[in-house]
Structure 1
Amino acid sequence: MVIRENFENNLLKIKSKVTEMGELSIASLEKAFNALKTQDVEIALKVIDEDADIDNLDMEINQLVIWLMAKEQPVARDLRVMIGVLKISSEIERIADFAVNIAKATIKIGKTNSLLSITHLEQMKEVSIQMLQKAMQSFMEENIVLAKEVSGLEDEVDKYNGETYKTLTNYLSEHPEETNQLVQLLFVNRYLERTADHITNIAESSAYLIKGKIYDFNS
């Protein structure tokens, strides 16, 4: 009984670190987009620097899970949860990388007449953050309903992605002098679309932990 209690406490500690990682990634996305919106290179550089904190948490989670697996030799659902934790932390790390990519795009754009207003990038960012919050809550509370809601929100991001791509490419053909900024905004559009994909993967992993069967929310 004591052994089981120790295992549960260690697993709770690991899940808490995954939650912290998710919160840092949300903050990184918010900060990166704010840098893009305000053309603030200093904020963009801070996003890049702070990514190390998320990478370190990812490594720490990996080490803790491996240690717990070796120590407790979990089976059945416990093993499923631990493998799921590794997958989810990996997805969060990739999401943070996309925030860094947005920050780098901001630096490349520099100070110029912003064309952000002709896009749906801010809406994509807002929906992506809502998705990540729901996916993380689903994971912590083992709530399958929240996991499934993420899929519907991803459809919104995909719609905004298509509309923004069309708008930017059309504008580019008419204003070749804005090539640098437009290309970077197209990259940001892609980064946010991929962010939503990775968040959906988190929701799928959460659903697997809860129900014990594989879900494909992208289909």
Structure 2
Amino acid sequence: MRSTLEAQLKDLNTDILRMGQRVSEMIDNSVLSLARQDVALAQRVIDADDEIDRMLIAIEMRCLQVMALQQPMARDLRTVGTGLKIVTDLERMADHATDIAEVTLRLEGEPLIKPLIDIPRMAALAQEMVRAALDAFVEEDESAARAMIARDHEMDALYSAVFDELVEMMEQNPQVVRQATYLLHVAGWLERIGDHATNLGEWIIYRLTGELSDLNT
């Protein structure tokens, strides 16, 4: 029984890691499609959302089967419960990446009002946070999870910089309001991805310690 449970938990970790890597790719490609105005790449991001949904359902089913058939206790049960929470946050990140890709389609053929600088930085930071969270999950590293959560302040600072710059542009030139509003949404979605990454960290800490705290302050 114990060896079977351990094997199933290992498979669960593998599935979650694969889903997280796919979501990280979507984040990168969504902002890359916007910066390059590459509608084909944007469409691939949008199409990938269905794949993420299928991954979510498969992992949820695996978690439920483990709970029903193996009846895990204590930390093992927290591992399964954490898996359910983590994939929910990953799926929401994928939704936000899809939202960004859809902006690329809406702005097709329209020159960008400014070179994208801080928005790609936000995307890179979001990917780093997701990867760090997944590494902490697999390696059972509480300190790494806490260090990742602390980086959310960097994301907030980048969002504030984007917000201030775009608002100033809109105040100075009403003709840019439409596109600037879309870019504000993009920055907001990336900031939300950062929040979901901190959620991953909080659930990882719960898995390891049994304590759940709101560290996204």
Q: TM-score range by the shorter chain?
A: over 0.9
In the other structure, the counterpart of 1:150 is 148
Cα contact 1:119–1:168 (8 A) shared by 2: no
Cα contact 1:119–1:164 (8 A) shared by 2: no
- Residues 38-53 of structure 1: pairs in structure 2 closer than 5 A: 38-53=36-51
| TM-score, structure 2 normalization | 0.97
Residue type at the aligned position of 1:70: A
In the other structure, the counterpart of 1:60 is 58
Cα contact 1:150–1:200 (8 A) shared by 2: yes
Q: Distance in 1 between matches of 2:114 and 2:150?
A: 25
Of 171, 174, 181, the match for 2:172 = 174
| CA deviation map 1:41-82 (0-9, x unaligned) | 111111101111111011000001111111111221111111
- Residues 202-217 of structure 1: pairs in structure 2 closer than 5 A: 202-217=200-215
In structure 1, runs of 5+ residues without a counterpart are none
Q: Percent identity?
A: 29
What CA RMSD, in Å, does the superposition of the two structures yield over aligned residues?
Answer: 1.1
1:117 is paired with a residue of what secondary structure?
Answer: coil
Q: Distance in 2 between matches of 1:117 and 1:151?
A: 29
| Residue 165 of structure 1: how far off its partner (Å) | 0.5
| TM-score, structure 1 normalization | 0.96
The answer to whether residue 69 in structure 2 is matched with residue 71 in structure 1 is: yes
Residue type at the aligned position of 2:153: D
In structure 2, runs of 5+ residues without a counterpart are none
Q: Distance in 1 between matches of 2:14 and 2:143?
A: 21
- Residues 1-219 of structure 1: pairs in structure 2 closer than 5 A: 3-117=1-115, 120-219=118-217
Q: Distance in 1 between matches of 2:116 and 2:81?
A: 42
Q: Distance in 2 between matches of 1:24 and 1:210?
A: 25
Q: Distance in 1 between matches of 2:159 and 2:113?
A: 16
Report which stretch shifted further, 114-123 or 37-46: 114-123
Residue type at the aligned position of 1:176: P
Cα contact 1:138–1:206 (8 A) shared by 2: yes
Cα contact 2:89–2:197 (8 A) shared by 1: yes
Report which stretch shifted further, 70-79 or 185-194: 70-79
| Residue 119 of structure 1: how far off its partner (Å) | 5.0
Cα contact 2:75–2:208 (8 A) shared by 1: no
Q: Distance in 2 between matches of 1:86 and 1:192?
A: 22
Cα contact 2:63–2:80 (8 A) shared by 1: yes
Q: Distance in 2 between matches of 1:195 and 1:96?
A: 9
| CA deviation map 1:113-139 (0-9, x unaligned) | 223526511111111111111000000
